[in-house]
Structure 1
């Protein structure tokens, strides 16, 4: 690499880190102001525990969230400064094309993209699991609805279905349970029980006041009992289908969970698919936002850095708006979640290409 490439790459990475380090303390300060009374409410909650279990993971989550915004603003700031100092004029006078000028920018974008991909797929989910556990323990007041699942059905295999009228997640106990096994459309057997309780220690279920019915061609066999210890291909965690859970799973676990859920007949998994696809689309947006920022800021404008920054922030808010709308639409049943997640990148990719060819002139 030439000295110019090292110079731009260094400015790119230093400006990115500086911008990111501005956002994080602001986010932490706002969060402390909102939650300080909740921290003080728990006498057994120490400062080190708050820092280790909550704010360490809080910083990891929001540093990853702010990466695209930090990249965009950082590139606008230092590229505008290059333009105002007529350094870009000197570069173009040396017969360096705009495309060649972009090389160090895209090397920096590649480094940040790789970091963001590793964070999104592996680090942030594990970190979020610890942070959310802390929030549920000390910061959130769980309601009755959060602890109970009502009228839940699940397909365990191609032929086995279960139904639970009510299941308490805190006590790991449910009521009015039934398991049915079919041969095509024909019922082969049915197991029902008044209560079902999960034993986490040995991963078994205890059924109380149960009834087993086996269906034959000419007659049925029925057996009643008091207690029965058995196993099923599910756990209480499988009864809770919330998009928040997807944020706590590394991508390989999330992919496996989606595949298993599809086999079990869960109808709408788009919220999980949106989370999975978003972990790749957001880091890739670093290239698009970098190109837009350079194309905008490489020309010297009347008003200087302030005008470029104002336009850039406006574009960033539009991108975030598109992103949130596409996530909501992608989570709707029947929607193509992959397409909706990538729509903001496609739209702003077209804008980036237009600005690129315009800047080349």
Structure 2
């Protein structure tokens, strides 16, 4: 927060519209929610190392070993704590943080980020609305919710049976419908002449809205998981090719909290033996592993978002690697 305030303090002070209440409640409260939840498993990792190192340095663990308590039994309270953190993080990731991110990003887009014109325009956009229906837009401006050279086609097998075209399409938000200008409807008949109807304006509804024209990874962070899953399934049916950025976000919401288990086992296994150098050495090793994990996590997210990549496998690779490390250290510790 201190770093973020230092970067943005000029924008806050120079703006005549931002209020202190908005800065605190709309931005920084949601800022805290996002980052606390993101680093919760890693904070648990450091906390376990610190706590277990203190036990070890005070020879508490020697007494526990002399009482014939196994390493597995020693892990029980740690795993109970990891389970509590995991469940809390899963609940936050799937439902609370997305709504929080929506408010935070809304504040950023309103006061802090200057949108480029290209970010507000969609070009050469097409969707598959059903097995037989397709739509196409040459351009669409998200600022005034209007587009040009719109068409929708319906096929009977491989044969075109219906086509609707319009020079201009505009979204009427208050009525939740589209208004077409200079439109033409052509019905193609097999055994008769085609029927053509033209008109100046036509108000109609389609199974899409302007938000369906924008496919950006940032939008995935603002959707609760049930909404995100529905969005992904609908987009697949509509023929959207690369949804990996959305799939990465969905899988990451589960993989990062589950990492609490692996990180807890690694932390206990590293710190339960008394070392020369005490807590400092264990914390240094712990921070090193933590940064390696973050590095793997970020690399896997980038690779998983590439078209054609297996997003599920990419997101879970860091957990697999650290899971194997946790298993190795657990077997060693038991000996």
- Both structures adopt the same fold (TM-score exceeding 0.5): yes
Which residues of 2 match residues 314-329 of structure 1 at below 5 A? 314-329=288-303
Q: Indicate whether 1:281 and 2:255 are aligned.
A: yes
Match for 1:203 among 172, 176, 188? 176
Match for 1:269 among 227, 243, 246? 243
Match for 1:67 among 30, 34, 40? 40
Which residues of 2 match residues 141-180 of structure 1 at below 5 A? 141-180=114-153
Deviation, 1:219, is 2.7
Match for 1:337 among 311, 322, 333? 311
CA distance in 1, matches of 2:324, 2:234: 37
Q: Indicate whether 1:97 and 2:70 are aligned.
A: yes
Q: Indicate whether 1:233 and 2:210 are aligned.
A: no
Of stretches 351-360 and 325-334 in structure 1, the one that deviates more from structure 2 is 325-334
Deviation, 1:102, is 0.4
Deviation, 1:360, is 1.3
Deviation, 1:211, is 1.2
1:140 maps to what in 2?
Answer: 113
CA distance in 2, matches of 1:146, 1:39: 24
Which residues of 2 match residues 179-218 of structure 1 at below 5 A? 179-217=152-190, 218=192
CA distance in 1, matches of 2:143, 2:17: 22
Contact residue 126 and residue 137 of structure 2 kept, 8 A = yes
Deviation, 1:50, is 0.8
2:92 maps to what in 1?
Answer: 119
Match for 2:16 among 43, 49, 53? 43
CA distance in 1, matches of 2:156, 2:237: 17
Q: TM-score, normalised by structure 2?
A: 0.98
CA distance in 2, matches of 1:315, 1:257: 36
Of stretches 219-228 and 197-206 in structure 1, the one that deviates more from structure 2 is 219-228
Deviation, 1:132, is 0.3
CA distance in 1, matches of 2:162, 2:297: 48
Q: TM-score, normalised by structure 1?
A: 0.91
Deviation, 1:248, is 0.4
CA distance in 2, matches of 1:90, 1:147: 66
**Unaligned runs of at least 5 residues, structure 1:** 1-27
2:323 maps to what in 1?
Answer: 349
Query: Which whole-Å deviations, capped at 9, do the CAs of 1:246-285 have from their partners, x for residues lacking one?
Result: 1000000001111111111111111111111111111100
C-alpha RMSD over aligned residues? 0.9
1:87 maps to what in 2?
Answer: 60
Matched positions, count: 334
Deviation, 1:92, is 0.7
1:309 maps to what in 2?
Answer: 283
Deviation, 1:202, is 1.3
1:257 maps to what in 2?
Answer: 231
CA distance in 2, matches of 1:134, 1:86: 52
